[in-house]
Amino acid sequence: MHVPFCTIVPPYLLRRLARQDAPEYSAAARAAKEALGHVKSVQAARITARPGTPTGMLAAKPGPATRTIYDAQGAESLPGKLVRKEGEPQTGDAAADEAYDGLGHTHRLYADVFGRDSIDGRGLPMDATVHFGRLYDNAFWDGKQMVFGDGDGAVFQRFTASLSVIGHELAHGVTQFSAGLAYRNQAGALNESMSDVFGALVEQYVKGQSAAEASWLIGEGLFTPEVQGQALRSMKAPGTAYDDDVLGKDPQPDSMDGYVRTSADNGGVHINSGIPNRAFYLVAQALGGNAWDAPGRIWYETLTGGSLPTTATFAVFARATLAAAEELFGSDSKEHDAVRQAWETVKVKL
């Protein structure tokens, strides 16, 4: 089985930045071109993944996190120099310590809320490398570990600064070891959306935020103050995360009325993820309280229950969430009604 190379920054955004010719963005343009080149080179030599974890094989009780942080020191070879192991004190390097904390927060959400033992459900050690490349404009999950760039300094800041980014990329690993959603077309958009959902839930869980209190932004804190934007994506209002002279306007649709048919970005996996993202937000909004409770349980069960096909469409996934809501809460429950209404609002046919 092969796993995709999953990055947080969409290729369409990097391509836009790479075309900038203003002197003040020359370094950022070069960094974007290098990031695009790196994505292409890695995708050309896909990384072989471990087999997924069969349903029913998850540990009965999650164990503690086992984290290891490396420093690539500006190189592009992994994993790099070991700088912090589980239980060791802070290094004083913001990126290394943010990565360590972010891995721990993510592990805690899955363990405490969903009873999952790490990313693969069987206690997978959590490894991360910081300071990858020179001015590298991305963060990614490579099938085995997390990798973070430092950003170009003009548009992007260091990628460990956003907890939702860390949670997002690690969730690609959870998908890899469970449903194994293909990284193309609607299944790929669902793959991206699942990462946004659990990235947001990690951040909300750590901050103790209710669905009403949360920002529902993915990648908040990544942009420098010069950028006119809040984050890479908004789950609450797809298409509104940024509107900037350099980066353009957030292109995500918020319903099937705006669905983008394209061959770029593996069939629009980063663009069209806004549709299922908004569906999850609407469920959380309708139910109130904490999004990691009923909404999170429904989405987690759908992802890990073993019935979701790898090429699931939005409609197939929507029906699976309805089935999960019925199994967990009953067909006449408010949870089941909220799920149905959310998919109807974003115009996904059930």
Any idea which residues carry the catalytic annotation? 169, 270
Instruction: Answer whether 181's CB lies under 8 Å from 310's CB.
Output: yes
Query: Side chain identity at 315, as an amino acid letter?
Result: A
d(CA 130, CA 133): 9
* Radius of gyration of the CA atoms of the chain, in A: 19
Query: Side chain identity at 309, as an amino acid letter?
Result: P
| Distance linking the first and last C-alpha atoms of the chain | 30
* Alpha-carbon torsion (265, 270, 276, 278), positive or negative: negative
Enumerate residues 6+ apart whose C-beta is below 8 A from 181. 175, 187, 188, 190, 191, 194, 308, 310, 312
User: Side-chain half-sphere of 170: how many Cα atoms within 13 Å?
Assistant: 34
